[in-house]
């Protein structure tokens, strides 16, 4: 029941270091099951989705040891349980990766329907289609997904470009008999990262990051040490923060190439971005300018940055149009932003954003992970003191957000609201 209290108006100034990529970490942790051996995973972000993945592994019988704040040692040699309960699965969307990993190692898996952010319908038909093509029987009953069978390589053409289905199919295929070809796949940097992790464990995957991935099944994998790539969306969030508040931030531990779709739009919106080998400096001297955005699979503009750009453009000098190309329900932050004075009209998957000269503080909610981060950025810009509720969503994906922002001169604190106070208020 914690909330953030933010007094806006301070430009973000200083340096911030970006953690490991959430959406790679939540796939790589289950993927360690395929080794049946000890893996050391480095550069893990300190977020609740990673903690939940580690807890699922440990509940299933893996020996999970924390070597330091961002490194876990995971020994899955004695993991025998092939099911993930409803309680665990509902905590995060990415629990679906246990299906592919368990199926790939044991030839069976039972995982409760996953939870995660409410972004509209989130089908997993393409994941199941891939498992079925490789020979698995699928049974969805009483909220549980059961998959079982001896897997053989297959040629799979996905009907839609899906990050989750691409990764899940790779997980299932690495130990299948024969060759699997995946076409119309997702190309996000974390797809390549998961493939690199699997290859480091002895898998034979080629083409990750292109439209087609070829996987030659191998009999066994082995343990390894692997460092996860930096989180492009966490980096993008601080880039927006620097541009929005007119600050000047050196964002460290990034891969600038992964950030190109975000950099291109931010520059058109008036940000100045200097790229170095593994860091970038973001600042702004002129006005925030309107730009049109359509979210698309990588290398298009990422949907996970849409709400953050929405906040930036809400104070641009002119009108911008944002089209959401991935999720049906990703404009829920707009109602919250309007409470701060934004002028945004949403019609279906399109938002027309009329820039206003300023935002004013208001009590708002984090309606999902990225919407929550967007509210934090809006509050840093707005005049006065804002309160943000439901911040559990934000902690799922942003490590140390309060400390990182405070080190950038932001006036933000996390306030604990005891449950009794909450009950009396209701």
Give catalytic residue positions. Answer: 117
Sequential DSSP letters for 141-204: ETTEEEEE---B--EEE-SS--HHHHHHHHHHHTTSBSEEEEES----HHHHHHHHHHHHTT-E
For residue 422, the minimal CB distance to ligand EPZ (Å) is 26
Count of CB atoms situated within 10 Å of the CB of 422: 10
Give the Cα separation of 16 and 73 in Å (integer).
27
With 0-12 / 13-18 / 19 or more C-beta atoms within 10 angstroms meaning exposed / middle / buried, residue 286 is exposed
For residue 160, the minimal CB distance to ligand EPZ (Å) is 5
Count of CB atoms situated within 10 Å of the CB of 222: 12
The phi and psi torsions of 345 (rounded to 5 degrees) equal: -110, 130
**Looking only at residues 129 through 148 of this chain, which bind ligand EPZ when binding is defined by CB under 6 A?**
none
Contact between 307 and ligand EPZ by CB under 6 A: the answer reads no
For residue 122, the minimal CB distance to ligand EPZ (Å) is 6
> CB nearest ligand EPZ: which residue?
164
Contact between 26 and ligand EPZ by CB under 6 A: the answer reads yes
Contact between 213 and ligand EPZ by CB under 6 A: the answer reads no
DSSP state of 86: H
With 0-12 / 13-18 / 19 or more C-beta atoms within 10 angstroms meaning exposed / middle / buried, residue 348 is exposed
Contact between 394 and ligand EPZ by CB under 6 A: the answer reads no
Contact between 124 and ligand EPZ by CB under 6 A: the answer reads yes
- Our CB check for ligand EPZ shows the closer of 25 and 251 to be 25
Q: Which stretch binds ligand EPZ (CB under 6 A): 20-28, 76-84, 133-141, 244-252?
A: 20-28
- CA angle (102, 47, 414) in 5-degree steps: 155
One residue of 165, 282, 359, 377 binding ligand EPZ per CB under 6 A: 165
- Our CB check for ligand EPZ shows the closer of 175 and 190 to be 190
- CA nearest to 374, candidates 25, 14, 4, 23: 4
Contact between 308 and ligand EPZ by CB under 6 A: the answer reads no
Contact between 370 and ligand EPZ by CB under 6 A: the answer reads yes
For residue 157, the minimal CB distance to ligand EPZ (Å) is 13
Contact between 306 and ligand EPZ by CB under 6 A: the answer reads no
Binding residues vs ligand EPZ (CB under 6 A):
22-23, 26, 93-94, 117, 122-127, 160, 162-165, 186, 303-304, 326-327, 369-370, 397
């Amino acid at each position: 029941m914690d909330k953030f209290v933010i007094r806006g108006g301070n430009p973000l100034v200083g340096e911030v270091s970006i953690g490991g990529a959430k959406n790679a970490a939540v796939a790589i942790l289950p993927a360690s099951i395929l080794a049946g051996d000890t893996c050391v995973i480095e550069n893990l972000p300190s977020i609740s989705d990673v903690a939940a993945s580690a807890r699922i592994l440990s509940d299933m019988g893996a020996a999970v040891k924390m070597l330091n704040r961002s490194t876990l040692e995971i020994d899955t040699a004695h993991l025998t349980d092939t099911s993930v309960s409803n309680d665990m699965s509902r905590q995060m969307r990415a629990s679906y990766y246990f299906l592919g990993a368990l199926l790939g190692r044991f030839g069976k898996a039972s995982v409760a329907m996953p939870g995660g952010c409410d972004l509209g319908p989130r089908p997993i038909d393409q994941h199941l289609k891939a498992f079925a093509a490789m020979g698995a029987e699928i049974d969805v009953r009483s909220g549980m997904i059961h998959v079982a069978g001896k897997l053989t390589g297959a040629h799979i053409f996905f009907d839609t470009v899906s990050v989750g289905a691409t990764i899940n199919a790779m997980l299932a295929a690495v130990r299948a008999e024969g060759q699997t070809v995946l076409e119309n796949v997702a190309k996000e940097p974390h797809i390549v990262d998961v493939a690199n992790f699997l290859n480091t464990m002895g898998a034979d995957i080629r083409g990750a990051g292109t439209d087609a991935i070829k996987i030659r099944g191998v009999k066994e994998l082995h343990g390894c040490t692997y460092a996860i790539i930096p989180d492009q969306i966490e980096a993008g969030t601080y880039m927006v923060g620097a541009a929005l508040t007119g600050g000047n931030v050196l964002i460290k531990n990034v891969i600038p190439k992964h950030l190109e779709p975000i950099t291109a739009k931010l520059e058109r919106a008036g940000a100045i971005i200097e790229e170095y080998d593994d860091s970038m400096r973001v600042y702004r001297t002129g006005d925030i300018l309107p730009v049109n955005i359509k979210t698309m699979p990588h290398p298009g503009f990422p949907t996970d940055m849409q709400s953050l750009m929405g906040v930036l453009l809400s104070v641009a000098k002119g009108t911008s149009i944002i089209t959401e190309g991935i999720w049906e329900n990703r404009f829920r932050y707009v109602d919250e932003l309007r409470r701060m004075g934004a002028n945004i009209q949403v019609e279906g998957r399109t938002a027309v954003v009329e820039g206003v000269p300023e935002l004013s503080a208001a009590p708002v909610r984090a309606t999902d992970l990225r919407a929550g981060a967007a509210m934090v950025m809006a509050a840093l810009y707005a005049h006065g003191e804002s309160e943000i509720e439901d911040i559990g969503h934000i902690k799922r994906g942003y490590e140390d957000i309060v400390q990182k922002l405070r080190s950038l001169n932001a006036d933000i604190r996390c306030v604990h609201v005891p449950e009794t106070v909450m009950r009396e208020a209701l």
